[in-house]
Amino acid sequence: EVQLVESGGGLVKPGGSLRLSCVASGFNFSSYSMNWVRQAPGKGLEWVSSMSSSGRYIYYADSLKGRFTISRDNAKNSLYLQMNSLRVEDTAVYYCARTYFCDSWGRGTLVTVSS
Amino acid sequence: EIVMTQSPATLSVSPGERATLSCRASQSVGNILAWFQQKPGQAPRLLMYGVSVRATGIPARFSGSGSGTEFTLTISSLQSEDFAVYFCQQYNNWPLTFGGGTKVEIK
């Protein structure tokens, strides 16, 4: 069974940083591209970033303007999102999802940016 | 950026009736389109990819059609568990983009 488990969310002040993690199991992690997708409270889905299976290709939403960094460790079956200079508008549930058409999702981790 | 527009925003349907949801892309995405279902408090679930390929475990009452810029998700006979929000997503071009969603509610 494919499982994706996110962690690392929490309450942070504007300008702060967080590092999200997603641990994968039940499939060959190193063979799949991975994504971060977020959902602000009561809103729709917003793609954040994607990384190819090898890590060679990386894509970001333009709105992030270099504040977020995606990475992965295939030996640890893990995907990461380093988030810096956080803003109130970054408040959302952050999901990791497998493949570019998001065939499996984790339950998400809530990031709240507030003073 | 390809803008995905879903309509209607809310669809009121009686159980057992057919529901037809629309998704329009601002430029062609070929057949590189997915549909998701999301229930309150849950993560999205993939329903369809490649426009019309049902994901594992998705019942046959769900079907997808279209190509280029116009797409449709049809639920042939709504069951109680189908009342949810549905999103389309194009994965043909970067950035990946989602539609704003259609809420299917009980009439």
Per residue in B73-101, pLDDT (tens digit) is 999 999 999 999 999 999 999 999 999 99
- Tell me if A107 sits within 8 A of A47, measured CB to CB: no
Cβ contacts from A onto B, under 8 A: 54
Cβ contacts of B32 on chain A, cutoff 8 Å? 101
Q: What's residue A104's pLDDT?
A: 98
Residue A7 to chain B, least CA–CA distance (Å): 15
pLDDT at A105: 98
Q: How confident is the model at residue B17 (pLDDT cuts 50, 70, 90)?
A: very high
What percent of chain A shows pLDDT beyond 70? 100
Query: In this prediction, what percent of chain B has a pLDDT beyond 90?
Result: 99
The continuous run of DSSP H or E covering B20 comes out as: strand B19-25
pLDDT band per the 50, 70, 90 thresholds, residue A65 = confident
Nearest 5°: CA angle at A79, between A1 and B46?
A: 45
Min Cα distance A74 → chain B (Å) is 23
A-chain CB neighbours of B6 within 8 Å are none
Q: From the CB of residue B60, how many other CB atoms can be counted at a distance below 10 Å?
A: 7
Q: Are B2 and B90 in contact (CB under 8 A)?
A: yes
CA neighbor of B57 nearest in space, from A96, A97, A1: A1
- Write down the pLDDT at residue B36: 98
Predicted confidence (pLDDT) per residue in A2-45, tens digit: 999 999 999 999 999 999 999 999 999 999 999 999 999 999 99
The verdict on A47 touching B (C-beta cutoff 8 Å) is yes
Residues 6+ apart with CB under 8 A from B82: B19, B37, B61, B75, B104
Rounded percentage of chain A residues whose pLDDT exceeds 90: 97
Residue A27 structure tokens: 């499939």
Bridge partners of residue B65, in order along the sequence: B72
Tell me what the pLDDT averaged over chain A comes to.
97
Nearest CB partner across the interface for A50, out of B1, B34, B96: B96
CA distance B49 to B79: 22
Segment A62-78 mean pLDDT: 94
